[in-house]
Chains A and B, each alone.
Chain A
């Protein structure tokens, strides 16, 4: 620690550059991670807010909520408790003259079931009358107000916005919660259908019907259109970025070490134990990486503060800490490579005669 701190103090510019580089790498990775988390959350925020464990879908719907329909017959044969809730999904384009159209997900709910009862409104009140809806805050950000009347697709029926909810996103689209009795009409369907799906807080909930199947929520989320592809794209990007930063940091530390080889030779000639040299090198890497990451964190926090709400970013502290820890380990790994050089440095070859 003594040696590493003294050296940084003496060579402020050189180490400043390295810290600057680590700041940029850390910032890039933090922002990318937050963006990927943000996008992932936009797929699942609504589902996560319900706290459910399983979902019942038509077994031929390929785990897709959009393709699934559950008949009234199938429901009648089973017992629906307070742990289950109906979900009637319809993809809609919501519009009001003078405002941007919103591609949204209409989710019909039964107002006495737990999803409708537990909606966390940020403004207004829950839907009561059949043509009332509660919508995601995205509508508010785009200029919609409480009391606004919206229409879906080309239908003429008007629905009144009576409340806003936060984080109601399903598959990147804002959610419109409304009465399930309107769902079939909005979906332009006729038939003996009760819902698109039934979600349950009970992992083992089953309907006594051959045409439906129960899926775990994790399984259902992984099959959301595009979700897995997006996530693996981001995971690979972040993974490659980590590997590239490992190489960049390692190369920098290597060059740095080569430049300092004379210093190590002097220390070795003086008989300073290798342990001291190794711990000086490792602690120096940790100091550089950690201080770089602290600054990157500050930058990320500032970014989070000034970023417009429309950009999907989610600053998940545990995930970002894990990424930060990964970078520290990366730095340590990078500094382990030159250690071999330090241990093998031949004092004579550099000190000369």
Chain B
């Protein structure tokens, strides 16, 4: 079932002679239960693609639809609610609130989204799997880059999102952890019927993907589908 659909997306930055065409006529759909991997070199437009898909940024033209509803037609309040309830973001940087401990990051979510989050037990298991359960009382500033990334992944999964958007979630992780994170994301797609979209230049994640896209100079093409 299609959950996220991007149709004829173009994105330009700047004006006049400095105007750059970052995304070129992109068509993309993500289905529930699928892991989609978008691979491309630095500057190819990966983050731009992902933030447009998550409604954090608007395309110059084209439409983004979530569960059949155009994001453009939503009020900013509805967009906030959509991000809170249906989308989990793992951003390339700054995914966590710096003045909250790991525990409090989840507590904040519970304060604004009271239901349908992971149970304490499942959260405990997830943190265990990610190897960060003993870091619960630390602030993001006291964690390594990889630990931060893992907390950000746990934070994104905590709300049981319909769509998980992850930007370079494994950039700072060693191969063992990459496998662990790959498995967790694959499990998530299977068990919770989540549409997972990962943009990365980390080829180690291809093993866990159902579909692999390539993005190059703003143009996207399907490379492999299982």
A binding-site residues for B, Cβ under 8 Å: 2-3, 6-7, 9-11, 262-263, 265-274, 276, 346-348, 350-353
Chain A CB within 8 A of B204 CB: no
A10 touches B139 (CB 8 A): yes
* Chain A residues within an 8 Å CB radius of B114: none
In the complex, what residues of B have CB within 8 A of residue A10's CB? Answer: 98-100, 139
Given the complex of chains A and B, what is the CA–CA distance between A3 and B104 in angstroms? 10
> What are the residues of chain A within 8 A of B100 when measuring CB–CB?
3, 6, 10
Residue of A whose beta carbon sits closest to that of B52: A348
Give the residue name and chain of the A residue nearest to B109 (CB).
A270
* Cβ of B225 to closest chain A Cβ, rounded Å: 26
Task: Say which residue of A269, A272, A347, A350 sits within 8 Å of B108 (CB atoms).
Answer: A272
**Whose C-beta in chain A lies nearest to the C-beta of B89?**
A269
How far is it, in angstroms, between the C-alpha of A49 and the C-alpha of B4 when the chains are bound?
80
B206 at the interface (CB under 8 A from A): no
Residue of B nearest to A265 (CB): B94
14 contacts between A and B (CB under 8 A): A6-B99, A263-B98, A266-B95, A269-B91, A269-B95, A270-B89, A270-B109, A273-B84, A274-B76, A274-B80, A276-B111, A347-B56, A351-B51, A353-B92
**One of B46, B77, B97 near A266 (C-beta < 8 A):** B97
A351 touches B99 (CB 8 A): no
Q: Is the CB of A273 within 8 A of B48?
A: no
A328 to chain B, nearest CB (A): 24
Residues of A within 8 A of B99 (CB): 6-7, 9-11, 263
**In the complex, chain B residues whose CB is within 8 Å of the CB of A276:** 111-112
Q: Which residues of B contact A263 (CB under 8 A)?
A: 97-99
State whether the Cβ of B96 lies closer than 8 Å to any Cβ in chain A: yes
Chain A residues near B1: list those with CB within 8 A: none
CB distance from A189 to the nearest CB of B (A): 77
Q: Are A268 and B80 in contact (CB under 8 A)?
A: yes
List 6 tightest A-B contacts by C-beta distance, closest first. Answer: A353-B47, A271-B83, A271-B84, A10-B99, A348-B57, A7-B99
Cα–Cα, bound, A351→B81 (Å): 20
In contact, A270 and B57 (Cβ under 8 angstroms): no
- Known A-B contacts A270-B83, A353-B51; the reply to A2 vs B108 at CB < 8 A is yes
- Say yes or no: A351-B108 contact (C-beta < 8 A), given A273-B77, A273-B81: no
Which residues on the B side are within 8 Å of A266 (C-beta)?
91, 94-97
A36 and B156 CA atoms in complex are apart in Å by: 58
A272 vs B111: C-alpha distance when bound (angstroms): 10
The answer to whether residues A351 and B93 also contact, given A10-B99, A269-B56, A271-B85 and a CB cut-off of 8 A, is yes
* A350 to B96 alpha-carbon distance, docked (Å): 13
Instruction: Assess whether A272 is in contact with B91, with CB atoms less than 8 Å apart.
Output: no
Judge whether B82 is part of the interface by a CB distance below 8 angstroms. Answer: yes
Please report the C-alpha to C-alpha distance between residue A201 and residue B99 in the assembled complex, in whole angstroms: 64
Q: How far is the CB of A191 from chain B (nearest CB, A)?
A: 81
What is the CA–CA distance of A212 and B116 in the complex, to the nearest angstrom? 85
Q: Give chain A nearest CB distance to B84 CB in angstroms.
A: 3
